[in-house]
Amino acid sequence: MYLCGQNDHNRMTTEPGQTRNLEKGIKLRHAVALYVSSVLGSGVLVLPGLAAQLAGPASLVAWGVLSLASYPFAYTFASLSSRNPQSGGIYGFAKESFGFPVAVVSGWLFAFWYITGGPAVTLIAASYLAYAFPMSRFAIFAVAGVVICLAFVINYKGIVFSNKIQLGVVVSIIGLLLTAVVASLGSMRTTNFVPFAPNGFLPIGTAAALIFWSFLGYENVSNVAEEFEDPRRDFQRSILLSVVLISGLYLGVAVVTVGTLAYKAGGSVAPFAAIFSGIFGSHGAVGTAILAVVIIFATVNAYTAGMSRVILAVARDRGLPKWLDHIDPKTGTPTRSLMMLSGLSLCMLAFYYFFDVDLQTALLIPSGSAVLVYIIGSAAGIKLLKDKGWKRALPWISLALSVVLLPFVGVLALASVVFGMAGFGYVWMRNRAKGNSEGR
């Protein structure tokens, strides 16, 4: 079933004089920045409010459970990457565990995740900007497109340049979020936490499915494992630091959102804007807009780097068209993968515009792909990792949580299933065409 052999996968050139090496420029601080920006994205702006609207104060239960559960996810993918650092992350783990066809399905799911999720999160940034500076619907979508294009340009210049931008952005994000949480503590009231579950306990599951989006990203750094300077040392160190930092910030924002009743401000944008308005008064909307744009740009920039490496890895093995198997010899960047992902994201952005797709739907569409990718990656961790004691259970916990959350995505998960099966069909057709040509 392989479209090419291991020697083809490991070869370092595709054309005479063209280097295929990816640049090794990721250190511990860059790894933490990539984790934080990959995970601490649009979810922190929108989902504390959406989750509280669904489940009330009981939404904090979902935040707490997923904060604890994020470590098994993070540990599984980090351990797999430090064991065998290669571009493509879960794609490579799936190929080793279950064979090439399943790996290609995971690669196509990654692509669908980015193509549908990228426009969704950039729209969140643009919507926050519109909260401070009134814009037409077309202008909001135009700003979202600019964010996608900016991430493309920065990644086009190479991983070292991208890392420097990312580190500065992440420091700004942490500072702004800490300011919002600490400054809002005085506005919290204990009476805002009762009744604890005004809509019953079932909505906690739905809230968890949405919140799961907030903890996606631990797999993304595995996609650039080949570019770590010292993956065996830095993966586990960066994971521990990142999980503590990210979970603490998420829980802090969620508690403040409930304790100040910011989620009752109305709409998907207003809750966080209400928090900043309470801090900065008339300048709250501007502060919110700045925070939103910075956070979401960091997320899109990190995912653009990671997902482009997945596309490169799949194309190397001919699970995608050969044209995508290209690295720029000057920057060490998979430029064609970047062009494909960014171009299709802009097309999906246009789809959201013309078909008036709402934000919750736009977030749940890629969530189906994300959960399916996590199921494949967790299963690979169960098969490949040989840890003993309690660590042996972590990939199983990751798998169980992913399986439990999938039904809450609902029928929108079918779009991801269809796209993943299209990848399987692509492999089957290539094999059939190859067999026919060899038989002549």
Per-residue pLDDT, 439: 59
Q: Residues 6 or more apart from 122 whose CB is under 8 A from it?
A: 143, 144, 145, 147, 148, 296, 300, 349
Per-residue pLDDT, 351: 97
Distance of CA 108 to the CA centre of its chain: 15
Residues paired with 26 in a beta bridge: 228
Q: Residues 6 or more apart from 36 whose CB is under 8 A from it?
A: 170, 173, 174, 242, 245, 246
Per-residue pLDDT, 382: 95
Q: Are 80 and 93 in contact (CB under 8 A)?
A: yes
Amino acid occupying residue 271:
P
Q: Residues 6 or more apart from 439 whose CB is under 8 A from it?
A: none
| pLDDT digit string, tens, across residues 139-192 | 999 999 999 999 999 888 876 666 667 777 778 778 878 888 888 888 889 999
Neighbours of 418 (CB within 10 A): 10
Per-residue pLDDT, 271: 63
Write down the H helix ranges in 99-191.
100-132, 137-156, 159-184
Could you give phi then psi for residue 228, rounded to 5 degrees?
Answer: -75, 140
- Domains belonging to the chain, first-starting first, are 6-12+25-439 (1.20.1740.10)
- Tracing tokens 């064979």 back to the chain, one arrives at 99
Q: Are 50 and 307 in contact (CB under 8 A)?
A: no
Low-confidence ranges of the chain (pLDDT < 70): 1-25, 42-43, 87, 159-164, 213, 265-274, 278-282, 284, 436-440
Q: Residues 6 or more apart from 291 whose CB is under 8 A from it?
A: 45, 128, 173, 176, 177, 180, 272, 276
CA pair distance 95, 384, nearest whole angstrom: 11
pTM for this entry: 0.80
Provide the b/e sequence for 357-384 (b: ≥16 CB within 10 Å). Answer: bebeebbbbbbbbbbbbbbbbbbbbbeb
Q: Are 356 and 123 in contact (CB under 8 A)?
A: no
Q: Which residue in 37, 26, 41, 290 sits closest to 161, CA to CA? A: 26
Could you give phi then psi for residue 13, rounded to 5 degrees?
Answer: -140, 150
CA 226, 228, 229, 235 dihedral sign is: negative
